[in-house]
């Protein structure tokens, strides 16, 4: 059997615990906000790099195969025209 005596916490103790908890929650929120901000910035950098790479690849493909590029563009234009006509 546990012989530990339970004492009632004073209002000052409870107030201090609440204040400590509030400070801990503020620190946690700041940490989460910073981590999310860094993650978003990294994602933005990665998207930017990927879009630059895609632009370079597309440009090189058009320069390397101009007739194919014109044919693909004409085909896409025809499909879009047909879709617009039906809609």
25-62 as b/e: b if 16+ CB within 10 A: eeeeeeeeeeeeeeeeeeeeeeeeeeeeeeeeeeeeee
Q: Tens digits of per-residue pLDDT, 28-66? A: 999 999 999 999 999 999 999 999 999 999 999 999 999
User: What confidence score (pLDDT) does residue 78 get?
Assistant: 95
Rounded CA-CA distance 74/27 in Å is 58
- pTM for the model: 0.51
Residue count of the chain: 87
Count of CA atoms in the C-beta half-sphere (13 A) of 60: 6
């Amino acid at each position: 059997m546990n012989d530990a005596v339970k004492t009632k916490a004073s209002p000052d103790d409870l107030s201090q615990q609440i204040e400590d908890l509030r400070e801990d929650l503020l620190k946690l929120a700041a940490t989460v906000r910073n981590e999310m901000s860094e993650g978003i910035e990294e994602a933005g950098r990665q998207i930017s790099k990927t879009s630059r790479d895609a632009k370079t690849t597309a440009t090189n493909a058009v320069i390397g195969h101009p007739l194919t590029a014109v044919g693909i563009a004409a085909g896409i234009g025809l499909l879009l025209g047909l879709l617009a006509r039906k809609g």
